[in-house]
Amino acid sequence: MDLTQPDPKFRKSSFSGANDGCVDVADLEDGGRIVRNSKDPDGPRVRYTAHEWQMFIAGVKAGEFD
């Protein structure tokens, strides 16, 4: 998959304010995710496998980033 293509459908968190920076996330068919900076939608993107994303979400829920 070419991550420079604008094909993925990105969404922004409802917790993000209109002027605040946030990340946009796009779901991939294989369960992975692509993340980008919402203030720079044409900038770099990072791809996570389904397992990496699941571990990240588990860490957030466990308070590892508080």
pLDDT in tens, 9-62: 999 877 666 666 788 999 998 999 999 988 888 899 999 999 999 999 999 999
- Given a contact cutoff of 8 angstroms between Cβ atoms, the answer to whether 23 and 38 are in contact is yes
pLDDT in tens, 47-59: 999 999 999 999 9
Instruction: Mention every residue, 6+ apart, whose C-beta is less than 8 A from residue 43.
Output: 36, 37
Query: How many C-beta neighbours within 10 Å does residue 5 have?
Result: 8
Task: Give the E-state strand segments of 1-66 in sequence order.
Answer: 10-12, 23-27, 33-37, 45-48
